[in-house]
Amino acid sequence: MGNLVTTIEIREDVVRLATVRKKGKYLELLQGIETPVITGDTEVPDKDEPVLNALEEAFKQLKYKPTCFALSVPCSVSIVRSLTVPFRGIKKVVSALRFELEPHIPFPIEELMLDFAVVNETKKDTEVLAMGVRKQHIQNYIQYLREFSAEPETAVINSLGLVYLWKQASKDTKKLKSALLVHKDFSTLAVLYEGKLVFIRHLVLGIQNYYENPEIFAREVQNSLRAFLARWKGNEGIEKLEIGGLSLSDEELGVFSRLVRMDVEIISLSQFLQFPNAMKTEPAETLSCWYPLLGIAGITLDPYFSFNLLKENQTLSSYLSSLSRHLIFTNCLILTGLVCGAFFLQQLTLNNLVYSNLYKAKANELTQEIERVNQERGLDENIDLSPFFDPPLLEILNTIAEKLPSDKVNITEIKLSSPDVQSWWIRIQGTTSDSAFITQAISELKKVSYFNIVDEPELSAQGNQTSFAIRIQKPQKPSISPENNSESNPKNNQENNTEKSNK
């Protein structure tokens, strides 16, 4: 999931869209859109049309394309229950949760959309905090949003948005922490333990109700905390109550502290919120209307504070649009790679073809030059061709190595002299343990046509070892006698006969 979320709030009198981006710990409101829901003057007004008109106007003003949409569900239609499930393990708890919750709700359990958080786990059971909303409420909102291709991926109760902002602004501790979070239309009493939400209660009391009668708030806080501590199995107590969403003087804080009989501290819910410059001049009461929407966006983007009423009913079809985008992107990457590969292969083929033609042209040019030189000048008669026909030294040594293999013969010395020396050219000395083999090998060497063995090899036996010495000489060219020369040159004979007859 990306870092850009648009939270949608649909109320009876107004529609709000908050496009939020997460930057580290901060939640930045990029665009806040608020359009009124204008009802008609008819006696039986159409409930859907005014909402659709307000949504249409709001989406026309939307400048950003979010990664996903989140739905803010009013806490007034929600149900909160603390339950003890006689099982351990998430899978077993999920399977048994609806059966445990069914006696505590006033409508069929099949109509409930819920999510839960594990509060505590013992050896035998699991304590959970379950929150749910009747399906009809959420389905009505989703039906509206489908008209604008803005079907939400998450649905979160708006009070949890305030709880998330409080959790981010409050210091981490391993003790129980409680907070009274006051909004314009509702209030929430929440308790955290080691960063996890373990208790929440919604109060139908807003900011104005507090200023009119703070005693009601104090009584509700006391009763709610007593009910929580009665079920809490830990030994910890609640030492302090933090208040968010209210601007109170020190005197007012002191009064409320005496009413609830515990320490009270003000905490700012906007500590990690950033608003556009155009909204910074608005009064705090106006900005506080956006707090739940920003908090819900934070929950949607935060993997460690997961809550989603749509989680249970989400199927593969819910992710088809997202999956199709990923598949299209992947296929485009593959296609781009194939096109680039084909292009480079074509360029390489053309490059090889060019060089091949150049090499062929150069070879033809050299061939023509050789033919031209051969036709014009021919081969110089003073060039000695014997090096091209005499066996090279490497070939002679290779033949010797074949006839005298290392597993049969140990060659201790090889001496070379000038090929023109009459006595010998190559002298080989060595030893062998097989005298019969060396005799046979020498016989094989004598059969080689391109060198001669001078005299008989020297052989001497010392124990079971036989030493040998072989002298090799280049083959002698046959001398040409005058008679042979005359016979071989008929032209010279004819010239001599002509000369004799003239005499």
Q: How far apart are CA 402 and CA 388, in angstroms?
A: 23
Q: How far apart are CA 393 and CA 397, in angstroms?
A: 6
The per-residue pLDDT for range 151-170, each reduced to its tens digit, is 999 999 999 999 999 999 98
To the nearest whole percent, how much of the chain has pLDDT over 70?
85
The residue that leads in pLDDT, 438 or 386, is 438
* Model confidence band, residue 392 (pLDDT cutoffs 50, 70, 90): low
In 3D, which of 283, 129, 293 has the Cα closest to residue 202? 129
**Residue range 165-190: mean pLDDT, rounded:** 90
**Predicted local confidence at residue 62, as pLDDT:** 93
pLDDT, mean over the chain: 83
The per-residue pLDDT for range 413-464, each reduced to its tens digit, is 888 776 666 666 788 888 888 878 888 888 888 887 777 777 778 888 887 8
Task: Look up residue 122 and give its two tokens.
Answer: 């013992």
* Residue 490 clears pLDDT 50, i.e. is over it: no
How many Cβ atoms from other residues are within 10 Å of residue 424's Cβ? Answer: 19
What secondary structure letter does DSSP report for 310? Answer: T
* Model confidence band, residue 42 (pLDDT cutoffs 50, 70, 90): low
**Predicted local confidence at residue 200, as pLDDT:** 94
- Is the separation of the CB atoms in 155 and 71 below 8 Å? yes
> What pTM value is reported for the model?
0.62
Pairing state between β 68-73 and 154-157: parallel
Sequence-ordered list of residues with C-beta below 8 angstroms from that of 53, at least 6 positions apart, any chain: 37, 38
**Predicted local confidence at residue 498, as pLDDT:** 45
